[in-house]
Amino acid sequence: MTALTGAAYWLPLICAVVLGFAVAMYIVLDGFDLGIGILFPFFAREVDRDQMMNSVAPFWDGNETWLILGGTGLFVTFPHAYAVVMPALYVPLITMLLALVFRGVAFEFRWVAKPHHAKWDIAFSAGSIVAALCQGFMLGGLIGGTRVEQGHFAGGPFDWLTPFSLLCGLGLVVGYALLGATWLVMKTAGTLERRARRSAHVLLIGVLGFIVLVSIWTPLEFASIGARWFSWPNMLYLSPVPLATAFFAVACWRGLAGSRLMFSPFYSAVALFVLAYIGLVISVMPYLVPPSITLWDAAAAPSSQRFVLIGMVILVPFILGYTVFVYYTFRGKVRADEGYH
C-alpha cells in the first residue's frame, strides 16, 4: 500500500467509520425485529403473535431504513467495493431482498387479512428467517474472500457458499432470535414475557456457542486473521473484546434469570452483538473486500465523500434524535390491542 496522507487517508477512514456505524445500527435494530419473526414458530397463540408484532410495528420501517443507508452508503462512499461485492453476493443478496418483501408487507397485510392471516404469519416468519440466513451467508462469503481480476468480480454465482458461510448464516439466525427474545422480555408482560425469558436462555447458550466456534474457526482458516489476534502485543490490546464479551454474556444470563441489574438483558444482547461486530472489523481491517480491496482502494472521489459526509454530520444527529423520540413515545410494555387496525 502506498503511503497516503491528508484527506486521501482520512476521508475514506472517516467514511468507513460512518458506514460501519450504519451497518451496526442496522444489525442491532433490524436484528431484534427480524428476531421476532424467527421466534414466531415457537409462539403459536394468536394473542401472543399480535403482541409480538405490535411490539415492533412502530419501529420496523425505520429500522430497515438503516439497511438502505448501508447499501447506498457503500455505493456513495466506496463505489468500487459496491461494484465488486454486489455481483459477488448476488444470490444471497437477491434472496434476502425478496425475503424482506414477504416479511415487510406481512406487518400490514396480516391485519387486513384477519381472520385469514395464517399465510402472512408464515410469510413473516419464513421471510425473517431467510433474510437472516442470507445476511449470514453474505457475511461469511465476504470474510471468505472474493475473487477479483482487473478490478472486477471474477468468480461464480455460488462462491460465497462455504461451510464457514453456512455457520455464519445459522449463527445470525440464532443471534437475531436472541435479540428478539430479549426485546420481548423488555416489551411484554405475563406469560409471553415468561416464555420469552425461557427461550432467551437457550438462545444465549446457542449464541455463545457460535461466537466460540467462529472465534476458533476464523484464525485457523484465515491466516491473516490468526496473525491479527494471536500475535504479541496485539493479543494484549485486543483482550478487552473477549473479556467484555464474557462480561455481557454473564450479565445477560443473570438478567434473564431475574436478578436486578442496571440494564435489561436486551442491552446485554445488543452489547454482545456490537462486540462480535467489533471483533469482525478488527479481523478484516483494512479490507472492505477481503483479500484484495482496501477501503482506500475503493474510495469514491474526495469531493463526493466530503459532500456526503457534510450531509451526514448535519443529518445523522437529527435522524438519531427523532429515532430516539419514537422509541421514547412507544416506551414501556406493549399494551394489549394497541395496534391501529
Partner 1 sequence: MNAVLLARLQFAFTISVHIIFPAFTIGLSAFIATLLIVWQRTGREHFHRLARFWTKVFAVSFAMGVVSGIPMSYEFGANWSRFSEVAGNVVGPMIGYEVLTAFFLEATFLGVLLFGWARTPPWLQATAAVLIAVGTAMSAFWILSANSWMQTPAGHVMRDGIAYPVDWFAIIFNPSFPYRLAHMLTAAYLTTSLVVLAVGARYLLVGAFKEEARTMMRMGVGMLAVLGPVQLLLGDQHGLNTLEYQPAKIAAMEAHWRDTGPMDLVLFALPDEKAKVNRAAIAIPHLGSLILTHDWNGHVPALADFAADAQPRVTIIFFAFRIMVGIGLFLIALGLTGAVLWRRGQLFTSRWYLRAAGWAWPLGFIAILAGWITTENGRQPYVIYGILHTRDATSPIAAATVGASLAAFVLVYGVVFSIGVYYIRKMLRHGPHGAAVATSSLPDALPNQPLASARESARESRAEPPVI
Interacting residues toward partner 1 by CB under 8 A? 57-59, 61-62, 64-65, 67-69, 71-77, 79-80, 82-87, 90-91, 93-95, 97-98, 100-102, 104-105, 107-109, 112-115, 152-154, 157, 300-301, 303-304, 307-308, 311-312, 315-316, 319, 322-323, 326, 329-330, 337-341
Least distance from partner 1 to the Cβ atom of residue 136, Å: 17
Least distance from partner 1 to the Cβ atom of residue 318, Å: 8
What's phi and psi for 42, nearest 5 deg?
-90, -5
Give 160 or 229: the residue with its C-beta nearer to partner 1. Answer: 160
Least distance from partner 1 to the Cβ atom of residue 189, Å: 17
The angle at the Cα of 322, spanning 178 to 330, to the nearest 5 degrees, equals 55
Give 120 or 164: the residue with its C-beta nearer to partner 1. Answer: 120
Give 10 or 327: the residue with its C-beta nearer to partner 1. Answer: 327
Give 79 or 291: the residue with its C-beta nearer to partner 1. Answer: 79
The angle at the Cα of 132, spanning 129 to 134, to the nearest 5 degrees, equals 105
Give the cell for residue 270: 445488543
Least distance from partner 1 to the Cβ atom of residue 94, Å: 5
Least distance from partner 1 to the Cβ atom of residue 130, Å: 12
Least distance from partner 1 to the Cβ atom of residue 314, Å: 9
Give 167 or 316: the residue with its C-beta nearer to partner 1. Answer: 316
Give 22 or 272: the residue with its C-beta nearer to partner 1. Answer: 22
Least distance from partner 1 to the Cβ atom of residue 127, Å: 10
Least distance from partner 1 to the Cβ atom of residue 144, Å: 19
Give 261 or 313: the residue with its C-beta nearer to partner 1. Answer: 313
Buried b (16+ CB within 10 A) or exposed e, 5-15: eeeeeebbebb
Give 104 or 291: the residue with its C-beta nearer to partner 1. Answer: 104
Give 260 or 335: the residue with its C-beta nearer to partner 1. Answer: 335
Residue 32 near residue 60 (C-beta atoms within 8 A): no
Least distance from partner 1 to the Cβ atom of residue 270, Å: 19
